[in-house]
Amino acid sequence: MDFYRMITDLLANITLITALTSMLLAQVIKVIYYLIVERKVNFYHFFEAGGMPSSHSALTCSLSMIVGLNSGFDSILFAAVAIFSSIVMYDAIKVRAEEVGHTLIEVGAGGILGIVISVISYLYFVR
């Protein structure tokens, strides 16, 4: 496979693009959220781990939802990514909470964001 074909295949992968878009949108929302809370622009929040909303949850929930919509919620692939998402979200709340983890609300907001972005993507690009 040549390099050009690989790049065009990656850019045509709606599942990948949707999940990454959810993650990036969560990071943008994080900057806006902290602009409102802190009353100053701080682009550091775009690159930080933790905070509101969870970009990890947005990414993994988006991936789970778009896979479920495309492959079926009864597929082995959906089961695998849903379990992966659950582990990431559990880790964000319980395991890393003392370091740079998330609150339940931050993880939930990221998860909801990822699901919404996936549904929009599916309805707009796939259906």
DSSP string, 27-46: HHHHHHHHHHHHSS--THHH
Asked if 92 contacts 54 with a C-beta cutoff of 8 angstroms, the reply is: yes
- Judge if the upstream peptide bond of residue 53 is cis by omega within 30 degrees of 0: yes
Query: For the whole model, what pTM was predicted?
Result: 0.86
Q: Which two tokens stand for residue 55?
A: 């970009």
Count of residues making up the chain: 127
CA distance 91 to 21: 22
Express each pLDDT in 6-28 by its tens digit.
Answer: 898 888 999 999 999 999 999 99
Express each pLDDT in 18-71 by its tens digit.
Answer: 999 999 999 999 989 888 888 988 887 787 777 789 999 999 999 999 999 999
Q: Which two tokens stand for residue 54?
A: 């969870």
pLDDT of the residue at 108:
93
Least confident piece of the model among 61-70, 91-100, 109-118: 91-100
pLDDT of the residue at 103:
84
Whether pLDDT at 113 is above 70? yes
Ramachandran category for residue 7: left, alpha or beta (phi over 0 → left; psi -120 to 50 → alpha): alpha
CA distance 93 to 98: 9
